Amino acid sequence: MDVTTDAGAPWLIAGLGNPGPEYAGNRHNVGFMVVDLLAERIGGRFKRHGKAQAQVVEGRVGPPGPLNRRVILAKPLSYMNLSGGPVTALRDFYKVPVANVVAVHDELDIDYGALRLKLGGGDNGHNGLKSITKALGSDYHRVRFGIGRPPGRMPVADFVLRDFSSSERKELGYFVDRAADAVECLVIEGLERAQGTYNS
């Protein structure tokens, strides 16, 4: 489905991560960081959803008029590798077309802070995407936030479950802000415009 054919449908923006304070600063949780900022921008506070294992904020983004979009911001509470269950439950509850689902996630194969937006594709070994694709198919949007590759021989699992380094944290706020801008651009103006502006 082309997203332009159903402009009135809501958008589900799922930030991927692991619940709990011990994971909050991890590289794997950058999706949570982005949707936290989006919630702050629309003045919403996350609340536990009654029908899904997730926290949600409902609101609107965009200027008044035809470009104004209804959004549901979500943080699955199922742990990363089971993200598909909560995302599907929310998709069903809010009647969101699959093409209006956006997964915001960390990406190893992109330099730190760089963004890539796309519709569809593989999971590239990302367990959160693997779970969502198994549940929904692959025709949803992704906002990929680069975290780079692990240094030396550090296992990938150790790298993604560590906090950003002190040098990375100096720029993290800027990069999260830019990723939130990219999500808003995608929802309001479409994938092509968002890719042209934010893909790096």
Answer positive or negative: Cα dihedral of 16, 43, 114, 97: positive
Residues 6+ apart with CB under 8 A from 196: none
Output the DSSP codes for 121-168: ---TT-HHHHHHHHHH-S-SEEEEEE--PPSTT--HHHHHTSBPPHHH
d(CA 10, CA 193): 19
Amino acid sitting at position 171: E
d(CA 119, CA 191): 8
Of 28, 105, 126, 141, the active-site residue reads: 28
Task: Specify whether 28 is catalytic.
Answer: yes
Residue in the block written with tokens 């936290």:
36
Residues serving a catalytic function are 28
